Structure 1
Amino acid sequence: MGITSALVLYAVFWFLTFLVVIPIRLQTQGDVGEVVPGTHAGAPQIHNLRKKALITTVIAAILWVIVATIILTGMITLEDIDLFHRWNSDYSG
């Protein structure tokens, strides 16, 4: 795996994790009871984005290390997940 591939893999893990972490403990204007006129009651009031970004970075790093280790050591190869035997080296068709 090259450096670019590693960075892209980490970015994918980071953004997917961030999308999962964002709604956790989110307090909306409706929850707090202070709806600003002209806004929706579901608009975030307390979001803690800095803390969520830090949590996301740690979780994404852990996931990235696990997947990068699997890829680099060859624990799981393309032949292991090939259900239709398209990548088998002894396949001549």
Structure 2
Amino acid sequence: MLVNELVINAFKHAFNSKDSGILEVQLNKKQDQATLIISDNGPGLPDDFDARTDSLGSLLINTVLSQLEAEMDIEDKTGSTFTFHFPLN
């Protein structure tokens, strides 16, 4: 669900005015921890972006974060990068 939501958001927002773009999805495992990274080379997040809003997308992401006992980091430099760290139980 995380991947689906963020990939759809990238196509809707990061690439809506472009003919092409780069979207990367990585899943790494190190011992008992997984790291999921979803990044794009779009224009970045809006200044008023808040991942804790009451939008349906944010609700889905935060629900999955809670279920996975995950931590989320957001980087907004060249495009947007969402990184999730969660234990493998």
Decide which structure has greater helix share.
Answer: 1
Larger Rg: 1
TM over 0.5: no
Bigger RCO of structures 1 and 2 (CA < 8 A, at least 6 apart): 2
Short-chain TM bin: under 0.3
Decide which structure has greater strand share.
Answer: 2
Q: Please report the TM-score for the alignment, with normalisation by the length of structure 1.
A: 0.24
